[in-house]
Amino acid sequence: MESLRIKSLFSSLVLFVLVSSPTLSSAASLGINYGQLGDNLPQPTDVIPLINSIGATKAKLYDANPQILSAFANTGIEFMVAIGNNLLSSMGDPQQALTWVKSNVQTYLPATKITGIMVGNEVLTLNNAELSNNLVPAMKSVYAALVSLGLDKSINVTTAHSLDIMGSTYPPSAGAFKQDYKVYMQAILSFHVQTGSPFYINMYPFFAYKSSPSDIDLNYVLFEPNNGFVDPTTKLLYDNMLFAQIDAVYSAITLLGYKGVSICESETGWPSKGDADEVGATLDNAAKYNSNLIKMVAQNKVTPLGSSLDIYIFALFNENMKTGQTSERNFGLFQPDKMPVYSVTSVRLTDGVTVSSSAVERYNSLILLFFCIASIAFL
């Protein structure tokens, strides 16, 4: 009788963990956004050692620049190429999608390691009905092109969203998409489930802090020691905003019935300079944010709900042709002359790395165990 109870306890524990946690990817990974909106940027061959110097293994483009893709042949660095919003309409045509994939992807394989195609960027929050309606058909056509070429097992098709698709992010357990985007989100998430591709979203704790510096603890957004907060529903402790945002997105995905879709952070970063009203945009804060983020990726840290970190830091260079406030031209880790803007931690990612649990992770593990035991007690 006792052995049956132990087996029942163990089974309930396993079931609880599976129900409570998202599908985890095997390891964290670090990438970099390689933008090109500058008239003084170095040649692509000179960029290779810069990417290697920060320990990044992936790079994301906002196009399919032939010079860059050729220069990175045989480097082992994984690339995500992009189809611009202006091409979404034409990509709905299967033949045009096939032509694009052949010219911009297949041509560079296998020497250049292209592993993803980003179809559009922050399309839904542009609030352009035509673009929004063209997004999923374009994604499907591009994926069909990969299937026809036998490339669908090695190359993902996805799109990047702005965090503005969220109607609620606090607390993380109450995360939900805005009502206006739910129909689109269901079609996009269904595509991710069918193809096994991740959900990409751009997240910038800097902008949240900039808008309410008196209400948000700077240490909380910079991954520095702080008290954090406990989600009143899950009782999980959050000690940084990025993790809270990721788990809010996971909650929103789960709410629509698509639990298990992996989440990747297609952009996140911190500017080293800003205008007078851009509170927090300093060299010191940028160095702390990106250094602490790189450390967490290297240590395979996970969010309280269990999402691993698949991160693309924004950005590789300060780009002088970007418009907007001063911060927009100062997100780079490097100056165009290849000198670091500031010193960042460089940590090589190692498979199977083991790190001691932080206080937050130990707390959250105990909370999960408590809820498991409590649920069993009422059986």
88 Rama sector, left if φ>0, alpha if ψ -120 to 50, beta otherwise: alpha
Question: For the stretch 254-290, what's the b/e string if a residue is b when 16 or more beta carbons lie within 10 angstroms of its beta carbon?
Answer: beeebeebbbbbbbbbbbbbbeeebbbbbeebbbbbb
CA atoms within 13 A on the CB side of 295: 12
Between CA 234 and CA 42 the distance in angstroms is: 48
The answer to whether 78 is a known catalytic residue is no
Whose tokens are 């498979």? That residue is 351
For residue 122, indicate whether it is catalytic: yes
Please give the Cα distance from 13 to 7 (Å, whole number): 10
Question: What is the spatial distance between Cα 55 and Cα 342, in angstroms, rounded to a whole number?
Answer: 16
Is 312 in contact with 33 (CB distance < 8 Å)?
yes
Residues 31 and 265: their CA atoms lie apart, in Å, by 10
The active-site residue, picked from 122, 265, 278, 319, is: 122
Beta-ladder partners of 158: 118
CA 331 to chain centre: 17
Sign of CA dihedral 241, 322, 274, 60: positive
- Cα torsion angle, 125, 131, 133, 137, sign: negative
Between strands 229-230 and 29-33, the pairing is: unpaired
From the candidates 78, 265, 267, 278, give the one annotated as an active-site residue: 267
* Cβ atoms within 10 Å of 80's Cβ, excluding its own: 26
Which residue is listed with tokens 């998202």? 22
State the Cα–Cα distance between residues 75 and 90, nearest whole angstrom.
32
45, two tokens: 């061959």
- Reference 342, options 333, 329, 351, 353; nearest CA is 333
Catalogue the active-site residues.
Answer: 122, 267
